[in-house]
Amino acid sequence: MERTGFIFDLDGVIVDTAKYHYLAWKKLANQLGFDFTEEQNEQFKGVSRRRCLEILLEMGNVEVPKQQFEDWLVEKNTDYLGYIETMNESEILPDVPKVLKYLKQEDIAMALGSASKNARPILEKVNLLSYFDAIVDGNEVTKAKPDPEVFLKAAEMLDASPENCVVFEDAVAGIEAANAAGMLTVGIGDAEILSQATYNFKDFTEIDLEFIKQLTNS
């Protein structure tokens, strides 16, 4: 049988860091004199830090010199790092360990496929780094989601062909990227927003191991 690869996004799938990204962007927006809502934050999920800032400035109609742009990028990340500094295992999303442990026990290849440049330190903080056979993050890709690069790289590192990979994602851009890579997709979150996913679940508490087992055979 062909080798199955399981690829997980990080923010909003494994840990609830989407809220920290949101708080850090909101703080910057407020400082620049405009508001930033949770609904607007949906557009930021799966999107690189640089692109997020471009979108934020478009939302606020703010024009900015190049150096100031770079400074704001640093400022946002510094705020974000402040939020994640104290993270621990309690911030792993419910029932995620159940799935990771099962896959590990079955010796199924697992990779992380994230747009974040902070992925490794976060995995270390929540003690999950050892589960992953490969990590592809924002430091390793040249084209951001919805480009399939991040997931194709992860599949290659797992030695699995894309059609035998399953991707867990909470972002529209991420589902698009995985679909473009020819992989099965599991949308975590609002099924209406993630309507392009092969399967949809609100969160991991809705996923039973029988479903995961079936995916490993597909």
Mark 10-39 with x for binding to ligand BG6 (rule: CB under 6 A) and - for no binding.
xx---------x------------------
53 binds ligand BG6 (CB under 6 A): no
Active site residue 11: yes
What is the torsional sign of CA 102, 131, 155, 121? positive
Active site residue 9: yes
Only segment of 95-103, 112-120, 126-134, 154-162 that touches ligand BG6 (CB under 6 A): 112-120
User: What is the nearest approach in angstroms of ligand BG6 to the Cβ of residue 45?
Assistant: 4
Nearer to ligand BG6, 78 or 195 (CB): 78
150 binds ligand BG6 (CB under 6 A): no
Mark 158-197 with x for binding to Mg ion (rule: CB under 5 A) and - for no binding.
------------xx--------------------------
48 binds ligand BG6 (CB under 6 A): yes
Only segment of 30-38, 42-50, 184-192, 201-209 that touches ligand BG6 (CB under 6 A): 42-50
HSE (CB half, 13 Å, CA atoms) of 139?
7
Backbone phi and psi for residue 140, each to the nearest 5 degrees, phi listed first: -110, -10
Contact (Cβ atoms closer than 8 angstroms) between residue 76 and residue 53: yes
Mark 71-110 with x for binding to ligand BG6 (rule: CB under 6 A) and - for no binding.
------x---------------------------------
CA distance 22 to 59: 15
Tell which one of 57, 72, 100, 114 touches ligand BG6 (CB under 6 A).
114
Task: Give me the torsion for CA of 117, 118, 119, 120, rounded to 10°.
Answer: 110
Which residues does the annotation mark as catalytic? Answer: 9, 11
Binding region for Mg ion (CB under 5 A): 9, 11-12, 170-171
Interacting residues toward ligand BG6 by CB under 6 A: 10-11, 21, 44-49, 52, 77, 114-118, 138, 171
